Amino acid sequence: MEAPRVDSTSQRGSRQCMATESINGELQACTSWTIKWETMRPSSRVPLMVLCDVHRSHMVKHHCCPGCGYFCIAGTFLECCPDQRIAHRFHRGCVTVLSGGRSRANGGGMLFCPHCGEDASEAQEITIPSSASATTVVTMSASSTTTPSLPPSVPMAPSLSASTGGAKDGKIPERPISARMRSHGLVTPAVEQQQPPQTVASAATVAAVPPAEEGVDSVGPSVCMPNGKPVNPSALPPGPSRAALQKAILTQDTERRKKLRFHPRQLYPAAKQGEVQRVLLMLLEGIDPTYQPESQNRRSALHAAAQRGLLEVCYMLVQAGANVDAKDKDMRTPLLEAVINNHIDVARYLIQNGACVYHIEDDGYTGLHHAAKLGNLEIVNMLLETGQVDVNAQDTGGWTPIIWAAEHKHVKVIKSLLNRGADVTVNDKELNVCLHWAAYAGNVDIAELVLNAGCSLSSVNVHGDTPLHIAAREGFLECVTLFLSRGADIDVVNREGDTPLTLAKVDTPVWVSLQINRKLRRGITNRLIRTERIICSDVAQGYENIPIPCVNAVDDEGCPSDYKYVSENCETSAMNIDRNFTHLQHCNCTDDCSSSNCLCGQLSIRCWYDKDQRLLQEFNKIEPPLIFECNMACSCYRTCKNRVVQAGIKVRLQLYRTEKMGWGVRAMQDIPQGSFICEYVGELISDAEADVREDDSYLFDLDNKDGEVYCIDARYYGNISRFINHLCDPNLIPVRVFMLHQDLRFPRIAFFSSRDILSGQELGFDYGDRFWDIKSKYFTCQCGSEKCKHSAEAIALEQSRLARMEACSDSGADCGVTVLGNS
């Protein structure tokens, strides 16, 4: 406590006592009159006050809390007794913590009494009934938290003091009956009978909040930011954050009188250090909360507060207009800072205030990547529940959130991700799948979860290692045992020529287990079922977005090698394609090209893609229209919704050996209707050149109705589409698309799914009657569909029907043969 003194604060016109008591969540202002002009205060953190004799006596007895300046005369508070004759009273939220930057009731670090600075760990929580209060008061219930409460340094408003009767003829009036409103609108009958109507109305200028946790007072006035938004402690959950904000608001009026000058660059360090009072003053003075100093790598104050987990500072900054999606030089947002540092309350608050949950950093990380890596299940679920995050998003290393969780052994996180549709078969940049990382971590529970989710034991990475190779090398017996029990091949060789057995350390439990398993398997002969083997991890050799493996469970045929894999159409002779940049018709859209004003969409009649980059339901699948995607001359972003085909393959495909039709292509995931599958890629040749080529099995006409006709020949140059077989009941449709040029003679041929395709189903399109008119002389369709039109049986029936029709026409009789196309 400071010694009493006389200063300018005591020279006010009003002689009313400035003491304020906090009793069970209520502010109670003293209405007594002062006799002496000296000012007093319990600490330098509290404004100077002129007090009545009663409160002067309590001040001397250390009954005024040095943290908030409120008198602890009635209610619940802590009491430190350094001596039997002395009792220091203070609120739990005002306890000084040595290791922390804010007051905490039960936090870490040593607790010190704000009065004497002595150890307060033995301080007792006491409750004194309100009848023992030394003053008649005017209070306000916690329900009126929308209006600011008066700080202790400010006298009661005229509307409040008027209800006390005021002073007449210079004489001090008798103490009036106080106006009292209880929390949640409850008024005791005795007070209700004595209270004049006008005092109830006048009391509305003071606000308080409900008691904090454990029954200790927690009062929360509010202030209004320059942008008109209120800052109210009751918006925060009870605890240190709310207490710190309450204290800052209560003292801001006195601090603003000092007329301190601030610079925008001071906001960042103040927020980083958790200086709630300083941040509040800066924001009230109009400092821009969106300021991103170059000296701090363009990190805003909200970045700093989110990184430290300072909820009250984040709340003030957001209310003042801070950008919740501000990006620093590393493309990191405040939400990512909160997630990375495991500050759940801050992350939840930012998400509730519109923070982008799917933002991507420079290294490709999203918030879900960070949360999965850290094993923070609550944040993982919080992000997934928004429905806006991609559970299979890949960072620059190709890692998905579930891969991060597998490497760091977070079983609960993996279960949550699997429940939300996480794909365990996604490859990283080295073609590792989730099972590789589970084996590397040595966690058998995760390995079993991943196996049950459909991850293949035969998956190989760029080094040729299977999960069994990795588990054997690392010496994880439980994982090795699990993989062997699921049928893992112990004889598979990686690129270094090593099997799992040769990688295991000799005479270790893993080595013994592998030896026994090999001997048992060599004793089993004449296997009836041929197992599927991966003969190539990626036939595209990295040229596609997603690796395309090649498997064979039918014969000993190796991976096709009689062609050159290309991801775009190529030319072996001059085609004279019009690639003039100035000839491109283009749009000037600044959005995602979803409006009807997009010129590219108008060229296509309309934009035929929905927000999920799939064909609209009303798209004509029988006679597909031309699609003009946005091109390099357009003003829109590369990520606009009218750029689907040019984005490349996004679905997982597999080249596999069929029983009857050689090589085929099947889906390795469920594919919704209208999804882009792949493009028919090959060598661009003229129609005349196509007529002289010996093998015409891979020709695709470009159907130019005006002028010379061209074809795509995928015999010597092609992509995965050259292996797509004919289906009489096709699940793919070809669509002509223009992207890099708009020469109508050379459209790109894009395949889209014509219906929902299940994982494991073969992909196919209708080759057309022209193809079968020629090829049916050499082979027939083997699609096996009930609607098959080109099988041997169907061809025989058609020939029989035609023969009968011819016989009937010669005889002139009605043979009862239905002509195809008529009913």
Least confident of 161-175, 221-235, 588-602: 161-175
Q: Average pLDDT in the 418-439 region?
A: 92
pLDDT in tens, 404-418: 999 999 999 999 999
First to last CA, the chain: 105
Which pLDDT does position 265 carry in this prediction? 85
Among 118-132, 696-710, 723-737, the range of highest mean pLDDT: 723-737
Which pLDDT does position 102 carry in this prediction? 41
Q: Average pLDDT in the 612-631 region?
A: 92
Give the β-pairing of 96-97 and 111-112: antiparallel
DSSP state of 32: P
Say which residue, 154 or 774, is predicted with more confidence.
Answer: 774
- Mean pLDDT over the full length of the chain: 81
By the 8 A CB rule, do 557 and 657 touch? yes
Say which residue, 214 or 774, is predicted with more confidence.
Answer: 774
Give which of 360, 361, 410 is closest to 389, Cα–Cα.
360
Which pLDDT does position 373 carry in this prediction? 93
Rounded to two decimals, what is the model's pTM? 0.49
Cα separation of 308 and 342, whole Å?
Answer: 10
Give which of 640, 649, 624 is closest to 586, Cα–Cα.
640
By the 8 A CB rule, do 587 and 632 touch? no
Give which of 211, 214, 153 is closest to 18, Cα–Cα.
153
Provide the H-helix boundaries in 433-545.
434-441, 444-452, 467-474, 477-485, 500-503, 509-522
Which pLDDT does position 734 carry in this prediction? 95
Q: What residue type is 388 in one-letter code?
A: Q
By the 8 A CB rule, do 368 and 401 touch? yes
Which pLDDT does position 814 carry in this prediction? 56
Question: DSSP labels for 223-269?
Answer: EE-TTS-EE-GGGSPTTHHHHHHHHHHHHHHHHHTT-----GGGHHH
13 pLDDT above the threshold of 60: no
Q: Average pLDDT in the 40-44 region?
A: 86
3-state secondary structure (DSSP) of residue 300: coil
Least confident of 357-361, 434-438, 494-498, 780-784: 780-784
pLDDT in tens, 484-521: 888 888 888 998 889 998 898 988 898 888 888 887 77
**By percentage, how much of the chain surpasses pLDDT 90?**
40
Which pLDDT does position 39 carry in this prediction? 87
By the 8 A CB rule, do 345 and 353 touch? no
The count of other CB atoms within 10 Å of the CB of residue 295 is 8
pLDDT in tens, 449-483: 999 988 888 899 999 999 999 999 999 999 999 99
Which pLDDT does position 182 carry in this prediction? 35
Which pLDDT does position 169 carry in this prediction? 41
Give which of 187, 71, 190 is closest to 140, Cα–Cα.
187
688 pLDDT above the threshold of 60: yes
Which pLDDT does position 154 carry in this prediction? 35
Q: Average pLDDT in the 589-611 region?
A: 90
Q: How many residues does the chain have?
A: 823
Q: Average pLDDT in the 308-324 region?
A: 92
Which pLDDT does position 189 carry in this prediction? 34
The DSSP element (H or E) to which 565 belongs, if any, is: strand 564-565
Which pLDDT does position 812 carry in this prediction? 62
Question: DSSP labels for 161-216?
Answer: HHTTT--BTTBPPPPPPPP---GGG---HHHHHH--HHHHHHGGG-------GGG-
159 pLDDT above the threshold of 70: no
Radius of gyration of the chain (CA): 39
Burial of 164 from C-beta contacts in 10 A (0-12 / 13-18 / 19+): buried
46 pLDDT above the threshold of 90: no
Which pLDDT does position 16 carry in this prediction? 84
Q: Average pLDDT in the 755-771 region?
A: 90
Which pLDDT does position 410 carry in this prediction? 94
